[in-house]
């Protein structure tokens, strides 16, 4: 039987979420780039 591993949203957001990105210089750069491109920060997966 195949084991289904569920990914935790909490863990994922702590790792790559908005607040985490906002803490680093490069993360802020990424957010700013997204804002320039779309007018809003849309998350990392789009």
Tell me: pLDDT of 46 over 80: no
Name which residue leads in pLDDT, 3 or 20: 20
CA distance 38 to 16: 19
Phi then psi dihedrals of residue 29, to 5 deg: -65, -45
Q: How confident is the model at residue 44 (pLDDT cuts 50, 70, 90)?
A: low
DSSP one-letter code for 44: S
The number of C-alpha atoms within 13 Å of 45 and in the hemisphere containing its C-beta is 4
Is 2 in a helix, a strand, or coil? Answer: coil
Average pLDDT over residues 8-22: 91
Inter-CA distances, 11 with 8, 17, 33, 43, Å: 5, 9, 25, 15
């Amino acid at each position: 039987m195949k084991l289904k591993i569920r990914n935790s949203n909490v863990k994922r957001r702590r790792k790559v979420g908005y607040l985490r990105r906002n803490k680093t210089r490069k993360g802020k750069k990424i957010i700013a780039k997204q804002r320039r491109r779309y007018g809003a920060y849309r998350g990392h997966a789009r």
